[in-house]
Amino acid sequence: MTQPIALTCGEPAGIGPELAVAAWDELRDELPFFLIGDPAHLPDGAAVVEIATPAYAVAAMPQGLPVLRHDFAAPAVAGRPDPANAQGVIDVIARGVDLVQSDAASALCTLPIHKKALQDGAGFAYPGHTEYLAALADVDQVVMMLACDALRVVPATIHIALSEVPTALTADGLRRTIEITYKGLQRDYGIAKPRITVAGLNPHAGEGGAMGDEELRWITPLIDQMRTEGYDLRGPASADTMFHARTREGYDAAVCMYHDQALIPIKTIGFDEGVNVTLGLPFIRTSPDHGTAFDIAGQGLANPSSTIHALRQAARMAAARSGQPS
């Protein structure tokens, strides 16, 4: 990795500031990164080194958390988001994207935002972090992958009611999800021929039509067609048997049909280590798999494990893209 990782500050009233400091304390001798944010929002007594450009992050790491200063309009009060800071949060994300797209940073890692705070304070027009990143990158479709050392999962539909899933799922949409996942595993994980298992929509993958016919009507034909195109696909698989250890050895990622089908296994297997990865962007983006946790912000109770894993995974992905040893 030739450039440091950019870490955006997220919502300053949440646990992001303390996570950034804790991650630096764990990783200062391992990999270089820098925080984009307001130094005044960091915990009192934190070791901080303000840097003028990302290039100074490597030299600054041994002394303190490198911070690329971005002044906010208001102080940060733990647990109480201030609408005055909403635009600053949004601007930091855009600044991080600019840096990674200009190769000043090797990857982007984002600390949690609070969507309602951004909507209330700055009229944030996007459903979430990922959609804003896709807009900044001028990308039509991206894929959310949750990953830990033992499992990678991709939900084909995300934050919608379960009753809406059968209608939202389409052959074109599922194909595009599989294609983006496949290319992402090649480019960002160095897997030359990824093995992907596709879950069925219905219990027991429909059991031959006894419990739903989507598998027979279009899911299986789509998988069969994509196999003829060179994709190494398995399925549709019964979701109740595809996540135990022996089965996981047979695939590199699982594409699931809806939110809980994907997130229950990843959070059961690697709750503190799970990382949110956005595939399909022209740059690397990872994030801890949790929110702002206003209820514990500022109390020193936040677990930095997911942030640490997100930074490590970003570094490995950057190494895979550049062809360097991870």
Is CATH 3.90.1150.10 what the domain over 1-139+282-326 is classified as, yes or no?
no
* Annotated binding-site members for substrate: 129-130, 267, 276, 285
Q: What is the pLDDT of residue 158?
A: 87
Helices H, strands E: what count in the chain? 12, 12
User: pLDDT for 152-199, tens place per residue?
Assistant: 999 999 888 999 999 999 999 999 999 999 999 999 999 999 999 999
Q: What is the pLDDT of residue 325?
A: 54
Structural class in CATH, domain 141-280: alpha beta
* Annotated binding-site members: 129-130, 159, 204, 259, 267, 276, 285
- Give this prediction's pTM: 0.92
Q: What is the pLDDT of residue 1?
A: 47
* Annotated binding-site members for a divalent metal cation: 159, 204, 259
Mean pLDDT of all residues in the chain? Answer: 95
101 residue type, one letter: Q
User: pLDDT for 274-309, tens place per residue?
Assistant: 899 999 999 999 999 899 999 999 999 999 999 999
Q: What is the pLDDT of residue 249?
A: 95
User: pLDDT for 209-262, tens place per residue?
Assistant: 898 899 999 999 999 999 999 999 999 999 999 999 999 999 999 999 999 999
Domain spans of the chain, in order of start: 1-139+282-326, 141-280
Bridge-based pairing of strands 232-237 and 151-155 is unpaired
User: pLDDT for 77-121, tens place per residue?
Assistant: 999 999 999 999 999 999 999 999 999 999 999 999 999 999 999
Note whether 197 and 255 are within 8 A (CB). yes
- Do the domains 141-280 and 1-139+282-326 match in fold? yes
Provide mean pLDDT across the span 25-52.
97
12 Cβ neighbours under 8 A, 6+ residues apart = 37, 38, 41, 72, 76, 85, 88, 89
Q: What are phi and psi of 234, to 5 degrees?
A: -125, 150
